[in-house]
Amino acid sequence: MARILVVDDEMGIRELLSEILGDEGHDVTLAENAAAARSARQSARPDLVLLDIWMPDTDGISLLKEWASSGQLNMPVIMMSGHGTIDSAVEATRIGAMDFLEKPIALAKLLSSVKRALARSAPAEHRPAAPSLAGLGRSATLRDLRRRLEQMAGRSRVIMLRCGPSSFAELAARTLATPGRRWLDLPSITGPVTQEQLDATRGGVIHAGDIATMSRMQQKNLSFAVDRLDRLDARLIASCAPGPTELHLAGWDDALLSRLFEVVLPLPPLADLRDEVPELADEVLKHLADVGEIPARRLTDAARPLLRQHGWPGGYVELVSVLRSAALAALDEELDAPALRPLLRSAGQSALPGLDQPLREAREAFERLYFEHHMEREGGNMTRLAERSGLERTHLYRKLKQLGLAIGRRTEAHD
């Protein structure tokens, strides 16, 4: 059960939300204006606030700013408005609101948004599990990689993932995390790590991250943790692009390097896993929504080829950034090609896709981009698309189906 504060100047909406959320088992407090909301917030910090924008005394945006500037915005806030605009949604998100609901609020959207917000504010041990290779069951390549990782972990307490700085190393490391057991992110500890902190990871996983970026203090913490793995019955997963020789020249301890590089598993760059990127993107979107970072979003069929064709010079970090940006800017649940294309271009997408592919694949990549561009330009109108492309309608439909593009008929009635 969560404590939820509902702030709205309309009595009917307050009572309706109170009834719905109360039926879900939550403890609901009602406030008819900003003054009452301030008082309720001072009495006890709620687990979640549903805040109307338009109120007679102080509008919701101003109240949100007030809480943010005074350090009181330490709970998730969902904005509500019957006169919502994109500008209001963007400003509220920039200040710190987690979501934006337009009135009349659909029941499913309300409950979904509340669930995400409460998941985000829950204690770490109760939060949804982070993505791992275990969730990518359709990809044979990633399934094999997961099996290798699990096999190596069964024989060694330390595994070094050799990869670039923007790889999906943490995704691989999360595969070894056991539900209910502690995950310790070693780089997040800036001071000396304590025995108490390590004891809390007993039977779990210590994630060292990219060791090439570690400070001297973090290197000492890493050495301290490695020496105690057997006693803790824990595993340590690290990643690194340089080899032991380069790290030795940078001043690393040889004994520690020898232990860290006993068992090494190379990870392929994301650019070599383009066919797996859409499935990986599905997992990323689901996790970001589960922890409340974005509203629930899903990829359209037309968006998937774009993700496959992109070179991903920034690796997994770039993928997460593109998806998070697109999801926060989207006004409905679907992420389509037009929403992703500008973000991919800004991330370094080549103007001519597929130049490093065989001719047939490169031609298909170009054709997908060509038809996606003109479908967007013509609003999905097949008559105008046929005229623009110079193809007969039957041939056009066959070509779009072959390329896996959704056939748009939204404006056919106005031909």
Q: What is the pTM of this model?
A: 0.55
What's the pLDDT score for residue 354?
A: 56
Note the pLDDT tens digit of each residue in 362-399. 777 778 777 877 776 666 677 878 888 888 888 888 88
Q: Where are the alpha helices (DSSP H) in 269-381?
A: 277-290, 304-309, 315-329, 337-346, 359-377
**Which residues in the chain land under pLDDT 50?**
123-126, 347-351, 409-415
Q: 133-268 adopts what CATH topology?
A: Rossmann fold (3.40.50)
Apex CA 327: angle with CA 325 and CA 333, to 5°? 165
pLDDT at 353: 53
Cβ partners under 8 Å of residue 3, min gap 6:
26, 27, 29, 44, 46, 47, 48
pLDDT given for residue 222 in this prediction: 96
Where residue 178 falls (left for φ over 0; alpha for ψ -120 to 50; beta otherwise) is beta
Q: What angle do CA 396, 400, 405 make, to 5 degrees?
A: 150
Tokens standing for residue 126: 């109760």
Please give the pLDDT value at position 124.
Answer: 46
- CA distances 230 to 131, 155, 171, 187, 235, Å, are 27, 12, 24, 21, 9
What are the residue boundaries of the structural domains of the chain, listed by start? Answer: 3-122, 133-268, 271-346, 359-414
When computed from its CA atoms, the radius of gyration of the chain, rounded to whole angstroms, is 25
pLDDT for 125: 46
Q: Assess whether the region 3-122 and the region 133-268 belong to the same CATH fold.
A: yes
pLDDT of the residue at 207:
93
Q: Which residues contact 395 (CB under 8 A, 6 or more apart)?
A: none
What's the CATH class of domain 3-122? Answer: alpha beta
DSSP one-letter string for 242-293: S-HHHHHHTT--HHHHHHHTSSEEE---GGGGGGGHHHHHHHHHHHHHHTTS
Q: Classify domain 359-414 by CATH number.
A: 1.10.10.60
Of the candidates 103, 99, 92, the residue with the CA atom closest to the CA atom of residue 68: 92
In CATH, the architecture of 271-346 is: Orthogonal Bundle (1.10)
Q: Give how far the C-alpha of residue 409 lies from the chain's centroid of Cα atoms, to the nearest Å.
A: 32
